[in-house]
Structure 1
Amino acid sequence: FIYTVQPGDSLFVIGARFGISIDQIQLANGLVETNIVPGQALLIPLYTYTVQQGDNYDSIARWTFVSAEALQKANPSVTPANMRPGMKVTIPELPKKPITALGYYTLRNPGLDQELIHNFAPYATYLAFFEYHISSDGSLSELNDSPAVQTAWRRRVPPLMTVTNLTETGFSPSLAHRVLNQPDVRNRLIDNIVQTISRKGYAGVNIDFEQIVEEDRDLFSGFLRLLKERLKPSGYVLTVAVPPKTNENIAWL
């Protein structure tokens, strides 16, 4: 189940509350350090939930992502009337769900690319090949990707071209701004993406524009909408990389 860190919490306090070791919490959440902050979501890798003060089946359902009805059915001895702090509630197993896994792959040389794509294909739904660079006139850089595209299709994992606003100095918000704010350039970029997908035999595209400034958010959404409309009739896939906003001080996230 998922626990949201509260003020005053520590991994020791949370571990003691739910009967789990600090090491288990760190391992399940990829935590190298023990410091945590209020509001942080932690996966608690247990199939039993320890009832807390003020809990009921509805509140436990929110932590465990299982319906209140399913929880009651799995715990007939713990009724809403006799539920007390410290009691153990069994979390029923959820039905398995399919997931979509997109893996990025930086092309190196045809021999190595073919070997690694062959090995990793069973674990991916899509492989996004890195990367095509955009220019201020809407053109795209070249990429020797044909062997990789063919290998991906042979291994039954659809390949995606990755289009970025990367430059020699990193992701460029000014480059994205120039392209998105000029309709003719934006449309030329869309044309070039669609043509490259068709010419190279890709299944679709991954748009990895990063550090876009806040004022361009609607232009970026509009660009994606137009691109989607162009791709949809041919059945091409559109995916978007979205950098996570980790705090309020990073304006471009």
Structure 2
Amino acid sequence: MAESEVKKVIKLVPENLLKKRKAYQAIKATQAKLALLEKRKVQKGRPLKFKRLEEFLKNSKRKHQDETRLRRAAHRPPPALPPAKNRLAFAVRIRQINGVSVKVQKVVQMLRLRKIFSGTFVRVNKCSLDMLKAVEPYVAWGFPNLKSVRELILKRGQAKINKRKVPLTDNAIIEEHMGKHGMICLEDLIHEIYSVGKNFRQGTGLGCYGRSASLGPEAKISTESSGSSTDRASQSFLPTRCTAILTRTYAVTN
């Protein structure tokens, strides 16, 4: 009977392999500990945001006012189209949009006014005028002249190249990225944007226009600075004060 029993064979592991396993486990444990400490460090640096009841009430009131304003505007006759010479508009976001209606948020995103005091060039048509009317309490806009467009591009122009912002001071950059669209220098880019040519979107999408870090009292600009809604259609330029502020401080993205 003893002969029929199968002998159990214990496989021996070499000592050097055991040492390697132990060292590997120690390394993995150290890495896990460091990762946990780094995660706690990152979480500790995030400040907790507490919202007071007054803020919820303020946002709710703003949303109700927006919905009421948009509902009343829907029953009014559509705004008259400006003269044919005013084909280009410039819009600047001047207020926060916390708690506003969903429609206003979507229009602001479509205009690419993601940050306060950011701006964008807009092609003037019936659809864009309706969009600007919908966000008028939070956006100032008007019709810039050629001088304003040139100053914005020359003083604040930055091209997005490889996820980095490069000043638009070299015509070689424009020729490299916009040469296929017929633009080889800054003047070509300025003319394409101001004239709202067939490559308008490509021209405005090339770069962004940074603003100064310090806004100061100049940031306190109302929607009336770009002209009232009644006479804006007859304007062919932004007011002097508004143009100067835009050139110095506002960001332009498209």
Q: Which has the higher strand share?
A: 1
Instruction: Kindly name which structure, 1 or 2, has the bigger radius of gyration based on alpha carbons.
Output: 2
